Structures are given as C-alpha cells and as structure tokens.
Amino acid sequence: MRADSIHTRPSVFRLLIGWISLLAGFTPAHAAAPDSDLFGEPAHKVVYQLNKADPDYINHVLFSVGAMLRKHEDDIHIVVTVIGPGIHLVGKRPGRPISEELRQRAESLSMYGVEFHACGNTMKTLGWTDKDLLDYATVVEVGANDLMELQEQGYAYISW
C-alpha cells in the first residue's frame, strides 16, 4: 500500500449505510461508497510518532491512540508513523522483542481506521521490503517527511 494521498477513514455510520444499501439491492452506482466524502473530513486529525521498541513506550502510545478513538469516535483520523526501532511493531521479521499483545492491539486499532505508516528509510537500513511488514502497515518513503507532510495537512503532531 502507498500513502500518497491521505484519506479519511470510513466511519461506522458510513459503513452501515453502505451495507444497508447493498442489502436493499442498490448497486454501487445508486449508493454512495461508505468511505466517500459525503460527510466531509473529520474534525480532528492526529499523527503519532512511534520511534522506540520499548514495550512500555509502545503501550503508552497505543493506549493514547485508543483513548483518542474512544473520545472522538468517527470524528477523528489517526496515523501512527513508525520509524527507527519502532518499526518492529509492524514487522514480521524477528528483531526487537515486541509482544504479541502489542501487535494485536496495533492490528485492532487498524481495524478501527488507524493507519500505520512504516518508514522506508528504516526498512532499507534493516534490509526489509514491504513483504516484511504486517498487512495493515503502509510504506512511506521517509518517515520524517511523512510527519512533516501530515502536519502541513493539518494533523496535530504527538510525540512521546
């Protein structure tokens, strides 16, 4: 996957509308796609920098991401940019020890629309390709550039 264009995550409401439309017999030409811009951009956009493989650090970042989702529900878009040692959270290869619990929490957050961007520079340093990442992670060329561009698009920057 690529992160050339940042899009809003589909809300539960939009997904429900899409499924109801399909069940009612509407074709996609008759019904708006669940992730269409029908409801506009979310009021809140945030990007987290995750750059350490320390379990306590990752736990705190993921807890904060979950708290933001609970507080703002469908009115927030969250990106977690993993760089440096933090990339091991979304990696398949053995490396820094990341617990299965933390990996499952990250995957669960991705199912709620949180995007995980993996730094291509870090991957090159490790000799990784996109095949070395878990399915929900998206490769960006340079993690620091991803953080900058997201901020330029109005994303609040959160760092630990």
List the structure tokens of 6: 């940042």
Q: Are 23 and 55 in contact (CB under 8 A)?
A: no
The per-residue pLDDT for 24 is: 43
CA-closest candidate to residue 140, choices 156, 158, 121: 121
Question: Rounded to whole angstroms, how far apart are CA atoms 101 and 88?
Answer: 14
Look at residue 16 in the predicted model and tell me its pLDDT.
Answer: 45
For the chain, residues with pLDDT lower than 50 are: 1-36
Question: How far is 88 from 73, CA to CA, in rounded Å?
Answer: 28
Q: What is the pLDDT of residue 97?
A: 80
Q: What is the pLDDT of residue 71?
A: 97
Whether 87 contacts 119, CB under 8 Å: yes
Query: Which amino acid, 128?
Result: W
Residue 1: which residues within 8 A CB-CB, separation 6 or more? 137, 138, 139
What does the pLDDT read at residue 49?
Answer: 98
Record the pTM: 0.76
pLDDT of residue 160: 81
Domains by residue range for the chain, with CATH:
9-39 (no CATH), 41-159 (3.40.1260.10)
pLDDT at 64: 98
N-terminal to C-terminal alpha carbon distance within the chain:
27
